[in-house]
Amino acid sequence: MKPKLIIVGAAGRMGRRILSLAVESGRFDIVAAVERADHPDLGKDLGPRDAGVVAAIGPINVKLDSIYPAGADVAIDFSTPSAADKTIDYCLENSAALVLGTTGLGAEQREKIKAASAKIPVIYGTNMSVGMNVLFSLVGKVASMLGDDYDIEIIEQHHRFKKDAPSGSALTLAENICKATGRDFPDSIVHGRSGKDALRQKGNIGIHAIRAGDITGKHDVIFGTLGEKLTLSHTAHSRDTFARGALRAAEWLIGKKPGAYSMTDVLGIE
């Protein structure tokens, strides 16, 4: 029997791709495509729209709606911080697994996710792509190998419509470096620089956010010292890389014991 899947934020850029690729895979029973009640694609005047039509793949007999139906096995949420609480509550009430890729969550929401993981299996990831999670794993190791003489800067680039800055992935990269090198997070982070006295301070990690056009996502981690520079880079060419990762995570999470898992668990990397 196919796992019953709810996609939250189904009319968003990521939600449409997750829906399309879930249908294409044939490995899920999509029981709901959820959006906020005032979303224009719900089509209140003409009746609910088919989620497949919204995603430009043709009718799939699943209406875009604001209602979470009971009985799902897993929910994938790439929506907004304001919607995440409702998804977490739904999964707790229905003992459903949760794959949460929404970025920009506050400290209280992260604590709520942590508490939820004691009762249900949860994957909360700032980036679901396979390549990016390999980079997450590498940056701390590289920083430790290079040592304190190397300055570290992170440059992230995204499309003009991205609301939060810096990206959740940039913060994860910085956090992993801090853990590996004994730096304080987030106190070691400097967000851009300006002014007449903006010299780099030893031990700081600079993060710089670029928003332009339709850039899907690019992250560069620069390690520089006097005489040389090493750059680790990841570029996402389409949202499909994140969507496929989220679906892979959802399938892996089915049947797991309650707990806070990560994409490194899904991929079997350290």
- 48 vs 1, which has greater pLDDT? 1
Confidence at 104, pLDDT banded by 50, 70, 90? confident
Counting Cα atoms < 13 Å in the Cβ hemisphere of 67 gives: 7
Catalytic residue among 86, 112, 162, 218: 162
**CATH code for position 205:** 3.30.360.10
Same domain, 116 and 243: yes
Confidence at 38, pLDDT banded by 50, 70, 90? confident
Same domain, 200 and 225: yes
**CATH code for position 48:** 3.40.50.720
Same domain, 192 and 210: yes
Same domain, 232 and 165: yes
Q: What is the pLDDT of residue 7?
A: 98
pLDDT digits (tens, 9 = 90+) for 180-198: 999 999 999 999 999 999 9
The owner of tokens 């002014």 is 195
**Is 159 among the catalytic positions?**
no
What's the pTM?
Answer: 0.82
Stretch among 102-106, 113-117, 134-138 having the lowest mean pLDDT: 102-106
Is residue 43 over pLDDT 80?
no
Same domain, 20 and 93: yes
Same domain, 49 and 150: no
Q: What is the pLDDT of residue 103?
A: 83
Q: For the chain, give the secondary structure using H, E and C.
A: CCCEEEEECCCCHHHHHHHHHHHHHCCCEEEEEECCCCCHHHCCCCCCCEHHHHCCCCCCCCEEECCCCCCCCEEEECCCHHHHHHHHHHHHHHCCEEEECCCCCCHHHHHHHHHHCCCCEEEECCCCCHHHHHHHHHHHHHHHHHCCCCEEEEEEEECCCCCCCCCHHHHHHHHHHHHHHCCCCCCCEEECCCCCCCCCCCCCEEEEEEECCCCCEEEEEEEEECCEEEEEEEEECCCHHHHHHHHHHHHHHCCCCCEEECHHHHHCCC
Peptide bond into 186 cis (omega under 30): yes
Closest CA to 211 of 178, 262, 163, 176: 163
Stretch among 33-47, 125-139, 224-238 having the lowest mean pLDDT: 33-47
Same domain, 104 and 144: no
Per-residue pLDDT, averaged over 236-244, amounts to 93
**Is 158 among the catalytic positions?**
yes
Expressed as residue numbers, the domain containing 35 is: 4-124+239-267
Same domain, 36 and 103: yes
Same domain, 263 and 219: no
Catalytic residue among 4, 39, 63, 158: 158
Is residue 17 over pLDDT 60?
yes
Same domain, 243 and 120: yes
Same domain, 69 and 155: no
Is residue 45 over pLDDT 80?
no
Is residue 58 over pLDDT 70?
yes
- For the chain, the domain total comes to 2
Q: What is the pLDDT of residue 135?
A: 96
Same domain, 243 and 255: yes
